[in-house]
Amino acid sequence: QKEVEQNSGPLSVPEGAIASLNCTYSDRGSQSFFWYRQYSGKSPELIMSIYSNGDKEDGRFTAQLNKASQYVSLLIRDSQPSDSATYLCAVTLTGNQFYFGTGTSLTVIP
């Protein structure tokens, strides 16, 4: 089992819809969770960080964390074509090892 798992996609949503991206992790001791966005040919860009169970909202983005179920998700409301990118989930595991999932490719269709 990989430390961090994501559906590779591709995920396609129409413009204006909600995009839902999911990530599961294997280490119950994980404490820090992050979502990064990576455009083709560019480096990853930090979107959200979340450390406590529940929801955290930042503009059109909402991160959700459920430590009991070991998953973290990212919701993008009112999706725009500019949101088309690969979204990477990252988790700090016990011992401060930092792992990325392989990413979910999102396409927002105008």
The whole-angstrom separation of Cα 84 and Cα 31 is 28
The whole-angstrom separation of Cα 83 and Cα 3 is 26
Q: Least separation, in Å, of the C-beta of 88 and other proteins?
A: 7
Whose tokens are 């960080």? That residue is: 49
Distance of CA 94 to the CA centre of its chain: 20
For residues 72 and 79, which CB has a smaller minimum distance to other proteins in the complex? 72
Within 70-109, the residues that bind other proteins by CB under 8 A are 88, 90, 92, 95-103
For residues 15 and 45, which CB has a smaller minimum distance to other proteins in the complex? 45
Q: How many residues bind other proteins (CB under 8 A)?
A: 22
**DSSP state for residue 18 in the 8-state scheme:** -
The whole-angstrom separation of Cα 94 and Cα 102 is 20
Pattern 26-45, binding to other proteins, x per CB under 8 A? -----xx-x-------xxxx
Whose tokens are 């083709």? That residue is: 40
Which of these segments, 17-25, 46-54, 59-67, 72-80, binds other proteins (CB under 8 A)?
A: 46-54
- Summarize as ranges the residues that interact with other proteins (CB under 8 A): 31-32, 34, 42-46, 49, 51, 88, 90, 92, 95-103
